[in-house]
Structure 1
Amino acid sequence: MGDKIGIACIIDDDSVYVNLVKRIIEAKHLCKNLLVFENGKEALSYFEAILSNMDEENLPEIIFLDLNMPVMDGWQFLEQFCGIKNKFGKVITLYIVSSSINPVDINKAKGIKGVKDYLIKPITIEDLEGIFNASA
């Protein structure tokens, strides 16, 4: 296999989870580059800068978004991101990855256009491989 996806993005404040996913992605060569943001505000600033600079080659193909984060949570990020994502010429597949098993959260997330799926932590190697292979 190996690096079929150019750039993936993790938006999550849980450093243990982020390091685990990074190690899996690197070990399995699932993508060439990985962007990591600790909250939605950092990520949104990055995407807005890309939009203003027309620098779409640095856009990820896949985003893994946590819901519960400080500064700007996943819901707030989604609301803002959905307003700008159609301005990009690239398709970005967004997955919610959360520890919440609340059906209200799951249904709300799946009801948002642009959210591909809702995954419950901990995410498995098989989950990641399936996502990256389907997106490649």
Structure 2
Amino acid sequence: MSSKIGLACIIDDDSMYVNLVKKIIEAKNLCQNLMVFKNGKDALSYFEVILNNLDKNSIPEIIFLDINMPIMDGWEFLDSFTKIKNKLGKAITLYIVSSSINPADIERAKNINTVKDYLIKPVTIDDLEAIFLSQTV
């Protein structure tokens, strides 16, 4: 399968999960490039720099966001990212990927327009393929 996704982003502090997803994405050739941030603050700083440069090739088409991270969690990232995402000038699909099965977290995520879906870890190969394929249609 050849991918039309140029850049995807993972914001997650769980290195085992990140490595697994990276291997799946590479093995299945789901996207050309992948960037990883260990917390929301680092990711937000990156997007704020992009705002000044508006280099559309540096803006991911898909973001996979964990909600439980140190420094700045996923909820805090979402609050700030929602304010700047429209200024980026590119459609970005954001998925929350969490080990939390708390119905309050799932409901909260589904009530945020920026969030496409809430996925519970571990995410399967089929899940990832379906997400990337839906982006290229």
CA RMSD of aligned residues (A): 0.6
1:130 — aligned with what?
130
AA aligned to 1:55 is D
Tell me the CA shift for residue 86 of structure 1. 0.7
Find the aligned partners of 2:30 and 2:56 in 1 and give their Cα distance. Answer: 20
1:28 — aligned with what?
28
2:117 — aligned with what?
117
2:11 — aligned with what?
11
2:97 — aligned with what?
97
Find the aligned partners of 2:4 and 2:10 in 1 and give their Cα distance. Answer: 17
AA aligned to 2:50 is I
Deviations 1:13-59 (A, max 9, x none): 00000000000000000000000000000000000000011222210
Tell me the CA shift for residue 3 of structure 1. 2.1
Deviations 1:38-97 (A, max 9, x none): 000000000000001122221000000000000000000000000000111110000000
TM-score of the two chains, using structure 2 as the length reference: 0.98
What pairs up with 1:39-78 in 2 under 5 angstroms? 39-78=39-78
TM-score of the two chains, using structure 1 as the length reference: 0.99
Find the aligned partners of 1:68 and 1:105 in 2 and give their Cα distance. Answer: 11
Deviations 1:72-123 (A, max 9, x none): 0000000000000011111000000000000000000010011000000000
Aligned length: 136
Find the aligned partners of 2:29 and 2:80 in 1 and give their Cα distance. Answer: 31
1:108 — aligned with what?
108
For structure 2, list consecutive stretches of 5 or more residues without a partner in the other structure: none
Aligned partner of residue 72 in structure 1, secondary structure:
coil
For structure 1, list consecutive stretches of 5 or more residues without a partner in the other structure: none
Find the aligned partners of 2:32 and 2:56 in 1 and give their Cα distance. Answer: 16
Aligned partner of residue 8 in structure 2, secondary structure:
strand
Identity %: 71
